[in-house]
Amino acid sequence: MNFEEIKYKVINNIRIKPEEGLFLLQKAPILELGELAAFVREVKNPSPYVTFVVDTNPNYTNICTIDCIFCAFYRHPGEEGEYTYSVDELIQKFRESAAMGVTTILLQGGVNPNLSLDYYIELVNRTTKELPDIHPHFFSVSEIVGMAEVSRLSIEEVLRKLWDAGLRTLPGGGAEILSNRIKKKISNKKETADQWLDVMRTAHKIGYKSTATMMYGHIEKDEDIIEHLESLRKLQDETGGFTAFIPWSFKPGNTPLEKIIPHYASSTRYLQIIALSRIYLDNFAHIQASWFSEGKKIGQIALHFGADDFGGTLLEENVHAAANYVSKTNTDEVINLIKEAGFIPAQRTTLYQIIKIFE
Ligand code: SF4
């Protein structure tokens, strides 16, 4: 196996195998890998646009009983600093965001055993009815599993109730690395990799769309990253329900895992992963670059390594902030960053429909 053979397959739209993905991750020259991924991006998204969404990422509760060792955000019930917002408080927050031009609320929280399913249903119901300009992009797989446990309903029943209340998309958080071996070590009370995929499968079959994420740069091996991409590619073949793939690196500050992994993964690693995912996930329409988690300059470079979307403006963010990682922007800066990188910025909806182009 060599790079030229794999490149030939990619250029001719022949799906690459896991061992070829591993070769690209470990042995491909970085600039050639980026060039190949940029070629794939051109074929899949031949437009000169790079999209972004005006969004915010509040959290309704930080109470959680799952104890992931990579997480600095959660508090146990009764612990100092715990909080849970009421539905009224959240609707008020959302109203203020809508007044600032936000169109997507990406809402997640801890897995809080004190919250009933009615709380979530009421929140979705009121958001869709009272704030028609806001798209609720609510609840990761872990929270859906938590709701099923508290309500003693099946995952499908919970998802159908949320659907009936007006929810249509789910954020792809909680995937971390889709390897049961790794998940057992970093989040052994959380759903397994197979369960994460099952919840997404069930959601997609009901009609939901979702993103898929990956948090790398901790205890995973290269093979685990390939396993993650392979699992996503298979599920996407089956359901077609993923809109985009969003990788980011682990931020160790204030987490139990900090003692073992004290540093961030390198920027080179990020660019390799963006490029590899663009090539490997041949059935995903969009790959998202993150100005937020990897820095604005690297976010711009990632647009030349296969990414076609610049993520959200994230007016509020608390999870990385708890790990001492803070980065801020605004809509004007996102537009300028995309232009500086050589593309035309285009504001999109949660479902990637373009609503405004900034020539
Ligand atoms: S990552 Fe999510 S599920 Fe895990 S401890 Fe943090 S809040 Fe809880």
Type of residue numbered 172: G
Type of residue numbered 258: E
Distance 175 CA to ligand 1 centre (A): 11
66 lines ligand 1 (CB under 6 A): yes
331, with CB counted inside 10 A (0-12, 13-18, 19+), is middle
Distance 160 CA to ligand 1 centre (A): 24
- Which residue segments constitute the domains of the chain, with CATH numbers given? 28-357 (3.20.20.70)
pTM for this prediction: 0.96
The Cβ of residue 323 has, within 10 Å, a number of other Cβ atoms equal to 18
Residue of 62, 71, 79, 114 best suited for mutating to test ligand 1, as the one with most atoms within 8 Å of CB: 71
142 lines ligand 1 (CB under 6 A): yes
Return the SS3 of 167: coil
Record the tokens describing residue 205, joined without a space: 């079959």
Q: How far is CA 353 from CA 34, 91, 292, 349, in A?
A: 26, 25, 22, 5
Distance 304 CA to ligand 1 centre (A): 33
Residue of 75, 141, 142 best suited for mutating to test ligand 1, as the one with most atoms within 8 Å of CB: 142
- Whether 192 contacts 202, CB under 8 Å: no
Q: How far is CA 154 from CA 145, 148, 202, in A?
A: 9, 6, 11
As a whole number of angstroms, the distance between CA 230 and CA 224 comes to 10
Enter the DSSP assignment of 106: E
Distance 319 CA to ligand 1 centre (A): 9
pLDDT digit of tens for each residue in the chain (359 aa)?
899 999 999 999 999 999 999 999 999 999 999 999 999 999 999 989 999 999 999 999 999 999 999 999 999 999 999 999 999 999 999 999 999 999 999 999 999 999 999 999 999 999 999 999 999 999 999 999 999 999 999 999 999 999 999 999 999 999 999 999 999 999 999 999 999 999 999 999 999 999 999 999 999 999 999 999 999 999 999 999 999 999 999 998 889 988 888 788 999 999 999 999 999 999 999 999 988 888 999 999 999 999 999 999 888 777 777 777 777 788 999 999 999 999 999 999 999 999 999 98
As a whole number of angstroms, the distance between CA 254 and CA 235 comes to 34
